[in-house]
Structure 1
Amino acid sequence: MKWLGGRQSDNVEDRRGVSGGKVALGGGVIGIIILLLNVFGGENGQTIGNVLEQMQGGQQTQTEAAAPLSEEDKQMGKFVRVMLGYNEDTWTKIFAQHGMTYEKPKLVLFKGAVNTACGGASSASGPFYCPGDRKVYMDLAFFEELKTKFGAEGGDFAIAYVIAHEIGHHIQTLLGTSAKMRQEQQGKSEAEANKLSVALELQADFYAGVWAHDNQQYLEAGDIEEALSAANAVGDDAIQSKMQGHVVPDSFTHGTSEQRMYWFKKGYKTGDINQGNTFDEIR
């Protein structure tokens, strides 16, 4: 993706050179479960992931020392700032077109572990959005995991897509969609509540596509394919098949690979936020 020379957002908190405190060692099965629960910002998974991290941390932890940022780290920090800037420009414009004011979120880069308004999290949590402080949290080491463990293609647009997806969750918070979804989950069976979670995640994928549509002037050959590869790799069916050899549709919380790719592509093709009512689609 074309980004050199782009406007860098002032809303990035780079904590990568700060001590992360207690970090769970190893990872093993619990670490993988945490990653799968939280990948791409599921709020329900984040809550469960925090509990599992506490279980793991109680078994074996170490203190992560602060380390200076490498030149590659610094370059990636600049890339993230530009991507956040692209998102700010897109959503400020779209909100204004609908008579609203866009509230810009913060994006926190960290290594190892981080404290948030939604609780403590480690790198195993994957990127996530915390509605409690309206911040996106990312450890960039996640993208190596996405490539090596889940078979996604590499490339900078996979990172851009994930950032746009997490900003999608911020859009849902600003529009009241997340709060309405949680209210609708009350009294529902687990399977029905999971369907609502799937709709929320697919809508965030759709918003990521809308963002890509608005930034076509910065796209390069292969960028959209990188996003679709990432979406395909983290579909619930793909993850369950890889981890347990079979799929349980009622347990899905993020959507199938096909659904995730479909809604990203729909956002990208239409660029129209009014066509992203994923909740009606799943009913």
Structure 2
Amino acid sequence: MSFNDNAQLDPGRVRDSRGRSGGKIAAGGGGILVVLLAALFGINPQILTDLGLGGSTSSTTQQSQGTEGAQSADCQTGADADQRSDCRIIGTVQSLDAFWGPYLDKYSVEHADPEVEIFADAVNTGCGQASSDVGPFYCPADQTGYFDVGFFDLLRDRFGADGGALAEEYVVAHEYGHHIQNEIGTLQYSQQGGTGPTSGAVRVELQADCFAGLWASYASETKDESGNTFLEPFTKADLQSALSAAQAVGDDRIQEASTGRVMPEAWTHGSAAQRQAWFLQGYQTGDINKCNTLEASDLNNPA
């Protein structure tokens, strides 16, 4: 999904802590790979620990020295968002802001835009310190979504997403969806029911996928403060990019790639087919009431 070249971006909308000096954090060893595979598109590292998905680590990385925020300060227009992933995060977040506030107003839901931070290597959060190995995540304690742009390369090169723009935008929209869940009270169900194909964790993740699709349904209509639309109408290829990302991070795909076998009893996010199906449910219906994964009797067939 391409941005309108004239769309106005506000780099101040996100914190950019890349280059900020910081302490060491564990970021290696076999255990952290388990965390990475389990946490892709996850909620926050603490929940993974609660579910027993963490592991010991054996090496450390050091954040680099530099000037905070310098790298994304020149993200000014939609044309920049078409060229750079950090600018695309900023533009997508602004589009999500423009969509969710008015949409939730119709349901008398009080909405506050989440905080967003772009980081590299490691970051301190309200949910504790995290390394880039956990992938993008939302921390409900500080109501912030955290993104390392290097994840998008991993999504393409390691897990088979096609690298299109909407694949990256889907990642951002999914994490923003966790913030919406936090506001409407469904995020808490992620810690109910342990793991498995019908667990609370899976249902919450699939709902966030549905919310990402819901945003995509209206994305070409969201406008900046000057009245320019953020995004152009997307093509079939754009949609396929989002679906390729959803497929790439299905529990079954990740388990098979990492262990050679599929273990549904350990699922925390849903299968590739389920993630695609619930994204399409949101996109095709444009109705938040159709994203009720918590009560769905059949997660394979959204109704």
Show CA shifts across 1:141-167 (max 9, x none): 011111111111102211110100001
Instruction: Name whichever structure is richer in helix by fraction.
Output: 1
CA distance in 1, matches of 2:197, 2:252: 18
1:63 is displaced (CA, Å) by 2.4
What is the TM-score when the length of structure 2 is the normalising length?
Answer: 0.82
What is the RMSD of the two structures over their aligned residues, measured on CA atoms?
2.5
Task: Note closer, same or farther for the CA distance 1:261–1:72 as it changes in structure 2 (3 Å cut).
Answer: farther
Q: Which amino acid is 2:23 matched to?
A: G
CA distance in 2, matches of 1:279, 1:242: 28
Per the alignment, residue 164 of structure 2 pairs with 155
Per the alignment, residue 146 of structure 1 pairs with 155
Per the alignment, residue 19 of structure 1 pairs with 21
Aligned counterpart in structure 2 of residue 210 of structure 1, from 214, 217, 227: 214
CA distance in 2, matches of 1:51, 1:142: 19
Per the alignment, residue 146 of structure 2 pairs with 137
Per the alignment, residue 40 of structure 2 pairs with 39
- Secondary structure class of the residue paired with 1:17: coil
CA distance in 2, matches of 1:16, 1:49: 30
Per the alignment, residue 105 of structure 2 pairs with 96
Describe how 1:1-283 pairs up with structure 2 within 5 A.
1-3=1-3, 4-9=5-10, 10-24=12-26, 27-43=28-44, 44-45=47-48, 51-52=54-55, 55-56=56-57, 59-67=58-66, 75-182=84-191, 185=192, 188=193, 190-191=194-195, 195-216=199-220, 218-221=232-235, 222-282=237-297
1:271 is displaced (CA, Å) by 0.5
CA distance in 1, matches of 2:74, 2:246: 25
- Unaligned 5+ segments in structure 2 are 76-83, 222-231, 299-303
Q: Which moved more, 1:273-282 or 1:213-222?
A: 213-222
1:243 is displaced (CA, Å) by 1.1
- Secondary structure class of the residue paired with 1:258: helix
Show CA shifts across 1:65-110 (max 9, x none): 2246668996433322111010001101111111223110011000
Q: Which amino acid is 2:215 matched to?
A: W
Q: Which amino acid is 2:34 matched to?
A: I
Task: Note closer, same or farther for the CA distance 1:191–1:136 as it changes in structure 2 (3 Å cut).
Answer: closer
User: Quick one: percent identity of the two aligned structures?
Assistant: 38
Q: Which amino acid is 2:64 matched to?
A: A
- Secondary structure class of the residue paired with 2:252: helix
1:180 is displaced (CA, Å) by 4.7
- Secondary structure class of the residue paired with 1:41: coil
CA distance in 2, matches of 1:62, 1:275: 43
- 2:34·2:54 contact (CA, 8 Å) conserved in 1? no
Q: Which amino acid is 1:232 matched to?
A: Q
CA distance in 2, matches of 1:46, 1:11: 30
- Unaligned 5+ segments in structure 1 are none
- 2:41·2:174 contact (CA, 8 Å) conserved in 1? yes
- 1:20·1:112 contact (CA, 8 Å) conserved in 2? no
